[in-house]
Structure formats: structure tokens, C-alpha cells
A and B are shown apart, each in its own frame.
Chain A
Amino acid sequence: MSGMPSASSPEPPRVPHVGSPPRKGRLPLLQRSIRYHRPRAPFCGVGYCTNCLVRVDGRTNVRACQEGFDLPRMKTTANAWPSPSFDLLGIVDVVFPRGIDTLRGFRRPAAFTSLYQRVVRRLSGYDDPPSEAAQQPPPASIRRIVEVAVVGGGVSGSAAADALLRSGVGSVAVLDRDARASTMSGAEMLGRTTAVFLPPPDPAAARPFALAATNDSGQGVEVRARSVIVATGGYDASLLFSGNDRPGVLTAEGAFALSAPGPPPFNRAVVFGGGERAREVLARFPSRISAVAAPGDVNPDLTRLASEQGVPLYPRSLVLSTVGRRRVRGLTLRTRSDGPSFRLGADAIILAHRRVPHPQLFFQAGALMQWRSRAAAYFPIVSETGQTTVPGLYAVGEAAGVSDPAAAVRCAQLTATSIGQRNSSAPSSSNPHSLDLPGELEGYYRELLRQPRGSGKWIACPCEDVLLHEVEDAERRGYRGIEVIKRYTGLGTGLCQGRYCLPDAILLLSILEQRRPSEVGYITQRPPVLPTSLGALASFADSPDEKEAS
């Protein structure tokens, strides 16, 4: 992951450029959204959201953040014309402030059917089909046969792999999205490798798990294992408010990723969050944070740091809307319990209110999940040793809800030791690692839903530009449950695989439907975990290049 581009590019590009070269310390406007052509700039910075899609060497929908924002190489997608900073189709956003109803609209007159279809098809889609020249056929997939596969090589994953080897487990493979390939004290590190599919284990097989992954050379990677430890960590969740997709709204990890190296792309950001994560943001960007707003109370460490830095605190605040059309110029807040509303100037809003785990691999493998209201997200149900309800599948670290690094290391070691000793303990119905405190986000959203909506768009699903009132309308018409709401509105069907809409949408639906989030359900987690190229998937069809670890 590298940081923001510098202002000077080596030579003027001859191809349509991704907007004007961004000013130093500013987020580049890289594309327009899929339906309403709203301006978008990097949001997550780590390759999940759909806000930095560009075209590189004939490949479409490449995330600029994953290729180091090498803007001179990148072309704008066909979704913005003539450029992302000035897109003529952006008029759609202005003309339809309540959005376009493609479910019931465009039905009359019948003679216009084909015209409507042409217009709507043109508005859809991010980019033209890929046009890269035929290269050599991609390398065959590779296969590893190991005792234990560890997904994620961060703090918990490394600790687990280390402890596995020390407790005598012979062969361990670690898969990591970012790390380079290496050998880590006996474990093979499969670097730049992303796990995309973990089907339920086949109990009859010697190694029940067949984990599918892809690496950055477009190769399929299959790891057969007796046990799988998921150490995929968590991510900073999104938040719903009017204009929550504006350039300048960032997740905390987005703010970190987009500032390393190089200057942060903001000078007076408002941080939203009242806990440790918000404190990390404040500590990392002294003098660039103009205020901290929190959904509830602010913890003492954050309070202390804010007072040291002279940063004002706004506890118990609802974020109502962003100010500014093309970029965040500020935000409107309201003090909870119908307090006064007020405006803060800001060039960025950094969301640091909660972190949630990546649930995909657990759902795919059939592990039972539990909704935790404090984080407002699904977590795997695990035992003290990290054992999920699927025998042989373990969760460690943030993926299991353990956010403190020291505790995460201890848990990972415990998991590894129990695998080494072939102990297994069935998980209890509640997670032993942390208590589920009453959820402050639920109360937050209950209050938010009662606020006047104003004229801006509340984007419930930024990938697909699904609006909050479309979700509410579906509920009013009698469609219930996240699976049906997904099909009715399109929410959760975009490129981020639901990461930035589902947790909040499930919470909102539980409020609207007046039932528990677990009854609202979850979208069946279908492969792949991240969008995966046809080439990599096709490589699984050929016989693999197999290696059995001793």
C-alpha cells in the first residue's frame, strides 16, 4: 500500500487522465458512482470500496489504492465523461434528488421501452469491457497440502503460525494479502495471496478443508488443510448520514493508508468515534484534526489526548449530513436527545466509531454467527480456544472479536496449542472474549431515523447507490428480511461484497421490522470474498502444480 500521488507527474499523459492532478494534501476524484454519477474519492484505502476504480493497461475496475495511485498509468473509467471532476451525467444526481425508481418507473409509454433501456444501461456499469491483448496463458494453479492453513499474517496470524510450529505441527501455510512470499520460521508464507472461497469441510477427506485463494500473478491457489485458522482481522465500518459518500468521508484505516507515505489528504478533519480507534486517529494526525464527535460518550484516554491537543469534543452527537457538493466542506451534527444542531467546518470526516470482522469465510464454511450489538456486526461463535462451530475451523484476533493486540496474541497461541495437542472444545453460545455491551449504535440509529431527511441523498449502499428511503419503502410494502431487501433494492450486491452496507442495513432493518438483527438474517455469503478474476478462477480447472509440505 503506498500513499497519495505527488502533484507533479513525469510527463503530461496523452490518454484521458483521471481528473486533474490532485493538489497536494487532497483526495483525488477518481470516478463517479454507478447510478447517480456522484463524485467519489478514495474511502477505505485498502481495496474494498468502489471509490477508486480506474482502468490500467486495458484492465477494468482496478482499484487505484491497490496499485499505489500511480495516476499517470491510470485512465478514467467510462462511467465519467469527460472526466471524474466534471461529468456531464452528474446532472442525473441533481435532477433526481429522491433517486430514480427503476423498479416501477420507465414503464410508459410502451413505445419508449427500448429508449429507456438504452439510457438506463448507459447509466449502469463502471467501465467498458477489458481490452488487454491476449498474453501468455496464465500459470497453472498451485496447490499446497498442509496441516494448518492460517488466513491472514497480521499480529494474530503470525502468533498462531509461530505457536503452531513450536508445538510441533509440521506444516503450516500462511496466506496474506499484503505480505511478500517468504518462509516464516518454518511456515510457508503465501504472500500477496487473498483467500476467496472456503467451502464447508468434507469430513470424509483426510484434509477436510479446501481453501481457494488467488495471488497477484493471477494464479489460483488451493490449500488443503486439516485445520484452518482465520486471522483476517477487522475493518472500520461505515455510517449512514446524508451525503455519506462525499469525497472526504474516510474510514480510519483509509485515513492511515492514504497518508503513508506522503502528507495526509486533509488538514482539518473531524473524527467520528469515542473510543480507542478514534484516539489512534487523533494520535496519528496531530494538528490535522479539528474536532472529535462521538455517537455516545467519549472514553477517558481520548478525552485526555483531545484536551492535550486542544481539540474540541462533541460527545453524544448525530451526524446528519455533509456540507459541500463536490467535497466535504463541513458537517451538520445534532446533539443527541433532540439537542441543538450545529455545523463544523471540515475537509474530511474520519469514521472511527467501530471495527467489525470480515465475516465472509465463516459464513461460507457454515460456521454459526452471532450478532453483537456493541459492534453492530456478526461475529463467529467461538470457544476459549477459538474453535468455531465448524470442527477444525478457528477464529483468532479481531476476526474473533479480540481487538487488544496483546490479548489477541495470547488467544492465537492458545488456539495453536490446542491444535497441536489435538484438544478441541466446543464453542459456547456466547463469545468468551468480550461481553456484549448494550449497543449504542442501535439507539443512535433509532434517533437518526426520526430526524428530518433534508434534500441530500442518504446512501445505504454506496457501491450500488441504493438510498435509505428505498429500503424503508421496501419494508413498508411488506418485504422483510435482508435477503429479500437485498433483492428488492440491490443493497449489498456491489463490489465491496456488502462490507460497507450490510452491518448498518441489518441494524436499520431490525429497527424498522421491530425484531432482532439475527431474525433480519444475513446475506448468504457467496464466493468470492473479494472480486476475483476469471483468469485466476479458470486456472483451477487445470491440474495444479502440487506441493505437499512434510
Chain B
Amino acid sequence: MIASPARSSYHTVVVGAGIIGLYTAYHLAHAGAGPILVLDRGFLSGGASGRNGGGVRQQWETPATIRLARESVAAYRRFGREFGYNIWFRQSGYVFVAEDEGQLARLRRVNAVVRGEGLVSRVIDAAEVLRLVPGIRPDAIIGGTYLRTDGILYPFPALWGLYEAVRALGVEVLLGAEVTGIHAPGGRVAAVETSLGRIATEHCVNAAGGWSGELSRRAGLDVPNVATRHEILATEPLKPFLDPMVVRVSDGLYFSQTMRGEVVGGIAPSTTLATRLGMGSSLDFLARMSRGLVGLFPQFRSLRVLRAWSGYYDDTPDGFPVIGTDARLPGFVHANGFGGHGFMLAPASAQRVARAVLGEPSDLDPHLFGPQRFSEPGRALPTERLQLG
């Protein structure tokens, strides 16, 4: 049973009721724009916003990303007071660990950029990694970096809080409705074609996460977004033993302990399987992830895995998200390409998306975040390569 939209025409239709779409709708509604409709073809929390590991970090390779992340951390700190749901944002740090000098040198460079932005990250030696990650095999790492104000949160209540907040502000949210195309006579967005019929709107925000590339292409736009399947597992719940999120630079192995006590983590996907299997899980992932964890914690061999699941990263070639109006199709605003880091960058990014919808000037560098950057001729690509954890 799917309700139909209450109106025939909207100021903005946001496609995707994930963290980016809901935050965007929230900022728009707050700014007095309206009416607003959020559409999602699945159920609330059915996409990557309900499938991520909850990491929120500010250690990035580029100052522009660090600024978005830092602003988002501030937003998550006040989330409980603003939205009425407790997201259990625990700022107990991110530890990036290196296994050799080459990796450590890379982390040192990241550390310098992060410190340059006024954050107190630091390079730590093996002894301090051991102190922060009790039980880790001492010879498994040589050192790393640590930023105490990074953290983890519980993603679901963030969605519940935003869902209820936007609805209280008059935003309509329709679940189970798919956008099949964009109606753009005269070269600008006039309506979205949906499984519920045509819905007139001046603006369409593409916040469809792993499906955003498909949606852009349905709008006739050539975009480089690629959906990559990533898997996660969770163990049975344990008493608290681990505070920070831990990320191994070499293979992207990451894990943390949630408020519920489960060890939750993943690893960079093996390329052959990343595009198969839909939302399924693979024995390949379970085996590689388990071997990784047992390699770091030999005493965890008897620890049991409770479940594993998967979701899609929405990857871009340069590792930066795509935020802003597409010049090829006025009214079509991108809010995608977050590469598995949408949750941690959402509050700040969605504010910029809302500004783009409202036609307000942006403080984001269009060469890094703009939709046009991929077609700039002869562009020397800056990249954000710290796409781990």
C-alpha cells in the first residue's frame, strides 16, 4: 500500500530518503522552501544509510573534505537536542594503523594536512596503538595516526530523527515510489516521472546513493558514478573493550565496537565480486574479513559472527562527492558520489545541496565538488584517496 502525493506540484522533489536526502529536505524546509516531496523506492534505512558502520571521521587527505567533516561532527554532536533521537555519537577516535614505513609515511602526510586544519590528530607509535586497541597483536602494526574527536554513531536513530523532523516541518515522504525519468521540456526540470505518475517540480535532487548514477542517466546525463558493493559483518555482543574505530591502511580493514557491544567491520571488496550478487553476502567476504580480524586478534578465533550484510558505495573517479546543480539540466541538483562516506559528511554537505537548490552561492570549490568537473578539458585531477573505513 503506497500513498500518493498530496499535491500535484512541488518546489523540490528529493530522490532518496537516506541521510543525504533527508538532511537536504530538512535544510530546505528550514529555509522556508516548499512544498517538498522526498521519494524513495525502498523502505526507510534500506539503502546505505541503514547499512553503514557508523564511522564519522575528520582525517582526510584534502582540506576541503576535512572542513565538511568537521562541520558534520559538530552537527552530530547536537543531533540529540535538535532531533529528539539519541544517535549515541561516541567521540572515541579513529586509529589508522600502518604495517610498514611506506604506509606510515602516507599517514604522516595526512596528519600534516589534518593538523593544518586545526585538528589535533597525531602520529602514534606501536605502543600507543596497543594502548588504544587492547589485545591487538603487537607485531601486526608499527604505528599510525589518531584523532580523538573522530567517532562512531548509531546510524538508524539519525534517520528516525530526520524522518520525523522533516514530516513535522511539512515535508512529504513517500516510500516505495520509484523515479523512472525526468520530464524536462525546454531543457530544464519540469516534473519527475514516477511509479506513482508524473509529479511536477522545479527542482529534483539526486540523493539516490548507489542508484544515483542510474537516476542521472535516466535524466539523460552522462555521469561517472559507479555503484560498488561492500560487505560488513557483526559479531556477537561483548562487554566494552574497544573505544576507537580502527582502520588498516593496507587493505581498508576497519572495525569498531558499537554501543551494543558488537564488533562491526568490513574490508575493501575483492574486485571480482564487487559488482555481483545484489544485496547478498559472499563467503569470500566472510572468509577474508574473518582472516583479517583473527590475524590482528588471534584470541578472537572463537568469537562468533552473528550476521553479515552488504550495501552500495556510490563511487566517483576522484573520490570527491558531487554537489551542485548540473549545468546541462537546470533544476537537477546532484547530492551523490559520497563513496561510502555519505553519513559522515551528510549534515554539512546537505546544507550546500540546499543552497544549490535555492540558487544561493556555494562555498565549495566547483573544481572539487561540481558536477561539471569531470568534463573539464585537460584537468589535473586532485583526488581524495583516503577512501577507507
B287 touches A535 (CB 8 A): no
Chain A residue nearest to B81 (CB atoms) is: A107
A133–B50 CA distance with the chains assembled, in angstroms: 36
The residue in B85, B240, B282 that gathers the most chain A C-beta atoms within 10 A of its C-beta is: B240
Chain B residue nearest to A105 (CB atoms) is: B86
Chain B residue nearest to A120 (CB atoms) is: B259
Are A132 and B286 CB-contacts (below 8 A) given A104-B84, A107-B80?
no
B90 touches A117 (CB 8 A): yes
B47: min CB distance to chain A, Å: 12
Contact of B303 with A by CB under 8 A = yes
Contact of A108 with B by CB under 8 A = yes
Contacting residues, chain A, for B239 (C-beta < 8 A): 78-79, 121-122, 124-129
B306-325 CB mask vs A (1 if < 8 Å, else 0) is 11110000000000000000
The residue in B44, B277, B304 that gathers the most chain A C-beta atoms within 10 A of its C-beta is: B304
A427: min CB distance to chain B, Å: 22
User: Which segment, of B98-106, B186-194, B198-206, B289-297, faces chain A?
Assistant: B289-297
Chain B residue nearest to A117 (CB atoms) is: B90
A220–B299 CA distance with the chains assembled, in angstroms: 18
Chain A residue nearest to B301 (CB atoms) is: A535
Contact of A111 with B by CB under 8 A = no
A534 touches B308 (CB 8 A): no
A483 touches B240 (CB 8 A): no
Interface residues of B in 127-183 (CB under 8 A from A): 135, 156-157, 160, 164, 167
Instruction: Choose one: B46, B277, B304; the contact of A534 (CB below 8 Å).
Output: B304
Are A527 and B304 CB-contacts (below 8 A) given A120-B259, A125-B237?
no
Instruction: Choose one: A108, A118, A130, A477; the contact of B299 (CB below 8 Å).
Output: A130
Q: How many residues of B contact A (CB 8 A)?
A: 57
Contacting residues, chain A, for B299 (C-beta < 8 A): 58, 129-134
A538: min CB distance to chain B, Å: 4
Q: How many residues of A contact B (CB 8 A)?
A: 70
Contact of A92 with B by CB under 8 A = no
B86 touches A104 (CB 8 A): yes
A111–B56 CA distance with the chains assembled, in angstroms: 20
Contacting residues, chain A, for B90 (C-beta < 8 A): 117
Contact of B374 with A by CB under 8 A = no
A103–B163 CA distance with the chains assembled, in angstroms: 14
Interface residues of A in 473-494 (CB under 8 A from B): 477-479, 481, 483-484, 487-488, 490, 493-494
A125 touches B303 (CB 8 A): no
Contact of B298 with A by CB under 8 A = yes
Contact of A439 with B by CB under 8 A = no
A495: min CB distance to chain B, Å: 6
Instruction: Choose one: B156, B237, B294, B297; the contact of A124 (CB below 8 Å).
Output: B237
Contact of A86 with B by CB under 8 A = no
Are A128 and B241 CB-contacts (below 8 A) given A117-B90, A528-B307, A540-B286?
yes
Contacting residues, chain B, for A118 (C-beta < 8 A): 240
Contact of A60 with B by CB under 8 A = yes
B259 touches A108 (CB 8 A): no
Are A531 and B305 CB-contacts (below 8 A) given A122-B239, A538-B294?
yes
Contact of B12 with A by CB under 8 A = no
Contact of B283 with A by CB under 8 A = yes
Instruction: Choose one: B44, B279, B306, B309; the contact of A484 (CB below 8 Å).
Output: B44
Contact of B121 with A by CB under 8 A = no
Contact of A378 with B by CB under 8 A = no
Query: Chain A binding site: helix, strand, loop or mixed by DSSP?
Result: loop
B294 touches A199 (CB 8 A): no
Contact of A47 with B by CB under 8 A = no
Contact of B222 with A by CB under 8 A = no
B291 touches A538 (CB 8 A): yes
Contacting residues, chain B, for A210 (C-beta < 8 A): 283
A275-304 CB mask vs B (1 if < 8 Å, else 0) is 000000000000000000000000000000
Instruction: Choose one: A61, A103, A104, A493; the contact of B304 (CB below 8 Å).
Output: A61
Interface residues of A in 88-130 (CB under 8 A from B): 102-108, 110, 117-118, 120-122, 124-130
A477–B44 CA distance with the chains assembled, in angstroms: 13
Contact of A218 with B by CB under 8 A = yes
A527–B283 CA distance with the chains assembled, in angstroms: 9
Contacting residues, chain A, for B306 (C-beta < 8 A): 493-495, 497, 528, 531
Contact of B45 with A by CB under 8 A = yes
B290 touches A538 (CB 8 A): yes
Contacting residues, chain A, for B157 (C-beta < 8 A): 103
Contacting residues, chain A, for B86 (C-beta < 8 A): 102-107
B309 touches A537 (CB 8 A): no
Chain A residue nearest to B242 (CB atoms) is: A129
Contact of A166 with B by CB under 8 A = no
Contacting residues, chain B, for A212 (C-beta < 8 A): 283
Instruction: Choose one: A127, A484, A537; the contact of B238 (CB below 8 Å).
Output: A127
Contacting residues, chain A, for B301 (C-beta < 8 A): 130, 132, 135, 138, 218, 533-535, 538
A135–B300 CA distance with the chains assembled, in angstroms: 11
Contact of B261 with A by CB under 8 A = yes
Instruction: Choose one: B46, B259, B261, B293; the contact of A483 (CB below 8 Å).
Output: B46
Interface residues of A in 529-550 (CB under 8 A from B): 531-535, 537-541
Contacting residues, chain B, for A222 (C-beta < 8 A): 283
Contact of A268 with B by CB under 8 A = no
Contact of B236 with A by CB under 8 A = yes
Contact of B212 with A by CB under 8 A = no
Contact of A307 with B by CB under 8 A = no
B44: min CB distance to chain A, Å: 6
Contacting residues, chain A, for B1 (C-beta < 8 A): 515, 519
Are A533 and B287 CB-contacts (below 8 A) given A199-B280, A199-B282, A526-B308?
no
Chain A residue nearest to B234 (CB atoms) is: A493
Instruction: Choose one: B135, B156, B281, B298; the contact of A526 (CB below 8 Å).
Output: B281
B302 touches A535 (CB 8 A): yes
Contacting residues, chain B, for A197 (C-beta < 8 A): 281, 283, 286
B85 touches A104 (CB 8 A): yes
Contacting residues, chain B, for A59 (C-beta < 8 A): 302
The residue in A118, A125, A515 that gathers the most chain B C-beta atoms within 10 A of its C-beta is: A125
A341–B386 CA distance with the chains assembled, in angstroms: 65
Contact of B385 with A by CB under 8 A = no
B169: min CB distance to chain A, Å: 15
Contacting residues, chain A, for B279 (C-beta < 8 A): 524
B261 touches A124 (CB 8 A): yes
A534 touches B300 (CB 8 A): yes
Instruction: Choose one: A79, A220, A488, A534; the contact of B294 (CB below 8 Å).
Output: A534
Contact of B67 with A by CB under 8 A = no
A177: min CB distance to chain B, Å: 15
A297–B226 CA distance with the chains assembled, in angstroms: 59
A533 touches B302 (CB 8 A): yes
Contacting residues, chain A, for B235 (C-beta < 8 A): 534
Contact of A200 with B by CB under 8 A = yes
A279–B316 CA distance with the chains assembled, in angstroms: 63
Contact of B260 with A by CB under 8 A = yes
Contacting residues, chain B, for A104 (C-beta < 8 A): 84-86
Contacting residues, chain B, for A490 (C-beta < 8 A): 260
A541–B307 CA distance with the chains assembled, in angstroms: 18
Contacting residues, chain B, for A488 (C-beta < 8 A): 156, 160
23 A-B pairs, CB-CB below 8 angstroms?
A117-B88, A124-B240, A124-B260, A125-B238, A125-B261, A128-B241, A129-B135, A129-B239, A130-B302, A134-B298, A199-B283, A477-B160, A487-B45, A493-B307, A527-B307, A527-B308, A528-B306, A534-B290, A535-B294, A538-B291, A539-B287, A540-B287, A541-B291
A-B contact sample (15 more), CB < 8 A, given A494-B306, A534-B304: A104-B86, A105-B86, A120-B259, A124-B240, A129-B135, A129-B238, A132-B299, A199-B282, A210-B283, A487-B156, A528-B286, A531-B304, A533-B305, A534-B305, A540-B290
Q: Which residues from chain B sit less than 8 Å from chain A, CB to CB? A: 1, 43-46, 50, 77, 80-81, 84-86, 88, 90, 135, 156-157, 160, 164, 167, 235-241, 259-261, 277, 279-283, 286-291, 293-294, 297-309
